[in-house]
Structure 1
């Protein structure tokens, strides 16, 4: 044996002290987190577990799509006046019509989220655990359908990563938003040497978890009064889906416009090069 038991205990004590130091916060950080510690204590264990499940479900969604994956066959309902049946057909649709389709989609999803939030708000704490996966499902399906309206396939794993990044963007603070915008702008880039801002990404994910926890925690507090819980649940869910739909629309339309501009420039260059006369010897 290299070390004696006593030596090992001394080293273990050092490790334990280091771990304790890592969990210590500055005074103003402790003050700032007091309301959230109160929420943690007032939120039942099964709600806490359900919030933790959000991360697992998001991970599963990125890998396989899971139970949240939308069908491309629903495209026809978003473009009833156009002969659109596949994602390839969407490429022939003007940006303005894409925006109109997404605006109608967002309006319908906000109404659905309002009804769902009000319905689960009636039951208070007993129906709150149902509200969490339902809201996540509406959010993911809304972003997937927005993606399809702009011609992107959520069946592709890379596209699901983009969708989760948009979800992350809505919940992040200013630092996280800046990092995510840079990541989103580089998703279609072929440059593999681009440096990722990993620290800002981690901060962004922290904001996602904290936002869900805070929204659900405050909703739970107000749901002690049935009528107030109904109104708060409807408002929070409607706002969450509305903000998400707006961000999804703006990010996807910018992406589509950028792609089309690049394709147009490439076509012009090809035509110009094609018509340049060659000098004969």
Structure 2
């Protein structure tokens, strides 16, 4: 290994250890508060989240929206790839923050519109990251891996453990997954949206409140992109070192 690869491997080990930790008591208490706030949010807002997840996942699996003009980067070191990925992270964080501030300033319904917009930003980043790590996103299995990374970043403790084990042995996992024509039929959309919504930070829900939504929206989106980028980089490092 190069010095950079040694450092990246150590960071990967530390990240995996962190992913295996259970939520702290404070986090579990925040979840109770979050559930109470969730119960007060109109059903219309929850429906927006569910439908946006369904449309986004469907687009990832069957559409060309995210694959167009993305070609895998060949013949580059891990360090070179990650320099480019980190540049992308900066760009997407700025976009997400600006978008969160804009929608957050509009109160409940406009704040709810942030969810599908942010989902799109997250997916575009994941597709860019995959290409920079040298994976062809036109390959159906690579798009499934992207969805697994998304779930890994935004899921409960139990689901996170399941997904982590699946990506640790991705070649075997990919072989056992349903073919593209039937995969959509196997998805439990309610579970998907529940995992995603439950993971969204307590502060993110305050983006839906008039008056303070703009500042909170910008901060929350920046933080969520930061979390996603850490998951993506270590998820692809895992495959790099597995080879």
Q: Same fold (TM over 0.5)?
A: yes
Matches of 1:33 and 1:238 in 2, distance apart?
21
Unpaired stretches in structure 2, ≥5 consecutive residues: 1-28, 178-186
Matches of 1:32 and 1:191 in 2, distance apart?
35
Matches of 1:53 and 1:156 in 2, distance apart?
25
Matches of 1:108 and 1:115 in 2, distance apart?
11
The answer as to 2:196 corresponding to 1:208 is: yes
8 A Cα contact 1:43 1:217, kept in partner: no
Matches of 2:133 and 2:76 in 1, distance apart?
9
Indicate the residue corresponding to 1:150 in structure 2. 133
CA shift, 1:147, in A, is 0.2
CA shift, 1:258, in A, is 2.4
The answer as to 2:240 corresponding to 1:242 is: no
Matches of 1:248 and 1:51 in 2, distance apart?
22
Alignment equivalent of 1:224, drawn from 193, 197, 210: 210
8 A Cα contact 1:70 1:141, kept in partner: no
8 A Cα contact 2:154 2:199, kept in partner: yes
Asked which structure has the greater RCO (Cα within 8 Å, sep 6+), the reply is: 2
CA shift, 1:43, in A, is 1.5
Question: C-alpha root-mean-square deviation of aligned residues, in Å?
Answer: 3.1
Q: Secondary structure at the match of 2:138?
A: coil
Indicate the residue corresponding to 1:77 in structure 2. none
Q: Give the alignment's TM-score, normalised by structure 2.
A: 0.72
CA shift, 1:36, in A, is 4.9
Indicate the residue corresponding to 2:74 in structure 1. 91
The answer as to 2:92 corresponding to 1:109 is: yes
Residues 93 and 137 of structure 1, relative CA distance in 2, 3 Å threshold:
same
Matches of 1:47 and 1:66 in 2, distance apart?
28
Indicate the residue corresponding to 2:6 in structure 1. none
Q: Give the alignment's TM-score, normalised by structure 1.
A: 0.63
Q: Secondary structure at the match of 1:189?
A: helix
Alignment equivalent of 2:157, drawn from 174, 189, 193: 174
Q: Between Structure 1 and Structure 2, how many residues are aligned?
A: 204
Computing the radius of gyration from Cα coordinates, the structure with the larger value is 1
Q: Secondary structure at the match of 2:172?
A: coil
8 A Cα contact 2:107 2:210, kept in partner: yes
CA deviation string 1:43-66 (max 9, x = no partner)? 123212101113312441343136
Q: Secondary structure at the match of 1:91?
A: coil
The answer as to 2:48 corresponding to 1:50 is: yes
CA deviation string 1:173-222 (max 9, x = no partner)? 3332222111012222389689xxxxxx98x84432422496653322xx
Matches of 2:146 and 2:139 in 1, distance apart?
11
Unpaired stretches in structure 1, ≥5 consecutive residues: 1-30, 74-85, 195-200, 260-281
CA deviation string 1:79-110 (max 9, x = no partner)? xxxxxxx42xx231111100100011101111
CA deviation string 1:11-56 (max 9, x = no partner)? xxxxxxxxxxxxxxxxxxxx99864554244312321210111331
The answer as to 2:233 corresponding to 1:258 is: no
Matches of 1:258 and 1:37 in 2, distance apart?
39
Matches of 1:247 and 1:109 in 2, distance apart?
15
